[in-house]
Amino acid sequence: MKYTDYLDIHPDVEKAIKNKEPVVALESTIISHGMPYPKNVETALMVEDTVRSNKAVPATIAIINGRLKVGLTNEEIEFLATNEEVKKVSRRDLPITVAQKLSGSTTVASTMIIASLAKIAVFATGGIGGVHRGAENTLDISADLEELANTNVCVVCAGAKAILDIGLTLEYLETKGVPVIGYKTSELPAFYSSESGFDVDYKIDSALEIAEILKTKWSLSIDGGVLVTNPIPVAFELESSIMNEAINEAIIEANNENISGKEITPYLLSKVNELTEGKSLDANIKLIQNNANLASKIALHYSNQD
């Protein structure tokens, strides 16, 4: 079997890839494990429309009945959003999900793998996984970081969320040689707020320059991803003291309930949403839209180069 035998690329996406038109990959864990229904469906469709309004083609990625789907129908998005059996699939889960013809939503790591198989270079998400707080004891480091080290996809996110150890996450990315770019900022954004107190390596002010960096990196065979961090617009920022309080409480509850492994991120996200009475969810939606806008612009410039 060739890898293409496992892939179902949506005709709109296939046409765009063939004609070297801009395409933006989107993940699906956020749909099935990152947001409650029906906001998850509304957000997934809104993000796709945001990409289209920038004259790029959205390719939401997931695994359905063992097929690697690149570009979903609205029915498939609804299925991912409502079906309890849809598992969170990261790198190690991917071959099992495919071989057993199961369905799964893809994390940043597995979305990067599938995007790269489909030759899509730019991917928009909300937040990446990283080094968790307390990782010196738990060794909980997301497979997203290892994927960024190895797979040639540019990931546009809103920085690292404070459920993670932001400093250790940056150190890990440095060790692995992953460029961390701040879009119009020299400070790493912290997801719900535009500031984290940590510097990024490079402040870059235009999507064109980012596209040039991608071309240069991969032309030089320096494999691996590039992380573009895009601050949440100030109008939608949340007070970091309120967020930190909610996150600290969520982490204590997760410990009390012995939540670990792949369950921890979805657990913390829904707890924080509960504790902030939905404010974190609203901010989450705004920042994903913001990331989809920037990713579309990068994809447009990237596709215009040879």
Give contact residues for ligand PSU (rule: CB under 6 A).
27, 29-30, 34, 90, 107-108, 126-129, 142-144, 161, 262, 265, 269
Contact predicate 202/182, CB 8 Å = yes
27 binds, among ligand PSU, Mn ion, none (CB under 5 to 8 A by kind): ligand PSU
Within 10 Å of residue 102's Cβ, how many Cβ atoms? 17
Q: Which residues does the annotation mark as catalytic?
A: 27, 161
Burial of 100 (0-12, 13-18, 19+ CB in 10 A): exposed
Interface with Mn ion in residues 116-155 (CB under 5 A): 140
CA distance 158 to 71: 23
Give me the least distance between CB of 260 and Mn ion, in Å please. 8
Give me the least distance between CB of 145 and ligand PSU, in Å please. 9
Rg (CA), the chain: 18
CA distance 306 to 304: 7
Give me the least distance between CB of 276 and ligand PSU, in Å please. 13
34 binds, among ligand PSU, Mn ion, none (CB under 5 to 8 A by kind): ligand PSU
30 binds, among ligand PSU, Mn ion, none (CB under 5 to 8 A by kind): ligand PSU
Q: Which token pair is 20?
A: 């070297």
DSSP-derived letter for residue 235 is G
217 binds, among ligand PSU, Mn ion, none (CB under 5 to 8 A by kind): none
Question: What percent helix, strand, coil does the chain show, rounded to 5?
Answer: 50, 15, 30
Coil, strand, or helix at residue 163? coil
Strands 7-9 and 67-70: parallel
45 binds, among ligand PSU, Mn ion, none (CB under 5 to 8 A by kind): none
Residue 93 touching Mn ion (CB under 5 A): no
DSSP-derived letter for residue 52 is H
* Nearer CB in complex with ligand PSU: 16/31: 31
Give me the least distance between CB of 280 and Mn ion, in Å please. 20
* Nearer CB in complex with ligand PSU: 17/178: 178
Give me the least distance between CB of 135 and ligand PSU, in Å please. 11
Number of residues that bind Mn ion (CB under 5 A): 1
CA distance 32 to 48: 16
* Nearer CB in complex with Mn ion: 146/212: 146
Give me the least distance between CB of 215 and ligand PSU, in Å please. 25
Cα–Cα–Cα angle for 193, 195, 196, rounded to 5 degrees: 105
CA distance 74 to 78: 6
* Nearer CB in complex with ligand PSU: 56/158: 158
CA distance 171 to 35: 29
* Nearer CB in complex with ligand PSU: 167/209: 167
* Nearer CB in complex with ligand PSU: 107/229: 107
CA distance 185 to 89: 32
CA distance 196 to 26: 25
76 binds, among Mn ion, ligand PSU, none (CB under 5 to 8 A by kind): none
The binding site for Mn ion (CB under 5 A) comprises 140
